[in-house]
Amino acid sequence: MDKFIIKGPCKIKGDVLISGSKNAALPILASTLLFDKPVEIKNLPQVKDISTMISLLKSLNLKVIENKKNKSLKIIKSKRVKTVAPYSLVKTMRASILVLGPLLSKYKKATTSMPGGCLIGARPVGLHLNTLKKLGMKYNIRNGYINAHVKNNLIGADIKISKISVGTTENAILASCLAKGKTVLRNCAIEPEIKDLTNFLNKAGANIKWTGKRTVKIIGVESLKSISYSVMGDRIETGTMAIAAALTNGNLKIKGFNPKLINTELEILKKIGAKIINGKNEFTIYGPKQVKNIKNLNTKEYPGFPTDLQAQFMTLLCKANGRSIITENIFENRFMHVSELQRLGAKIFIKNNKAIIEGNSHLEGAELMSSDLRASVALVLAAMSAKGKSIIQRVYHLDRGYEKLEKKLKKIGVNIKRLT
């Protein structure tokens, strides 16, 4: 099992190119089940979750031609597409549930295992099922599998999603593309990755229009046309790199991402003392000599502060010049990194869904254990700013969502190596 060895403290300096977005690529890959014609997807990140989704599509009998050198692939429909998503693949990644909507819409039936992923909260699939049910899906759950079907076609409907959910919004959009008639989805998640998905589908001939801040109208079409599309840059990797620069009093140019899409995060970084200069599809960040505290930081649905950067910001606030409080409003089990940060010397106390960070911590290297994807990278950041050697075990969590992270960090000044 791979581990990282990091010797700190480090100072970030140089340029970094952001990889393609995992969270945008996953629903776009799932959507290829809707196509009869070939689809080319470019700027794919080479991370574990993407390879899992590719394996899932292959198991459904789609032909996948990969060009890893160019970070692209072509997907071609086979004569006989399968409609069963097996437990062996679905158990490792929650985004696997995104094949349910396209399979139902295109092939009128789907059997998918209940999904897995990071253990950061309940994240029930009930929202997906209740929403698809309103489009005409019938289903039962037996032996850990969702067995779903539709009599003729999914039928458009006016649906208010009961809770803002990224995955449910994506699944509903995918299911509605080929449904009969008009679908209106209200209370949608509006993350940039969802807008990237709808942009991709519209370029392929779908009829999707955002009619309000959280409302989307979809007119079903007969089929989608062949398309070549480049996935957007990764928003969470961008935020993570910006935090790394802020944490280490660094000087980093971040390329391949539109800074307007993370305006909330950049404004918070300015509050802690960072200086940021925006460019076109890039920005430069200068970290402060002394990190300022944030009295209350609340995770919230986009365009609010993202839960996927909560652990990384907590690491940053350990170095702040006073007490900070982070309130986690999205997932109920997303403070698992706290005990590991405490091993480095962080002064953090948990009260319900609040983390109270005392700041002014003098971190010292230690042996650490990753618990989930974003917690893993928070420990990497902490080890970079700690004095001495840290060993981070179980970095396979990190490999699910960050492409060649140690190589990128090494290029910008981090003393890091991977041991297999």
Please tell me which residue in 118, 177, 188, 318 is annotated as part of the active site: 118
The verdict on whether 118 is a catalytic residue reads yes
Cross-strand pairs, 385: none
CA distance 168 to 127: 6
Cα angle: 39, vertex 45, 47; to 5 degrees: 115
Q: Which residues are annotated as catalytic?
A: 118
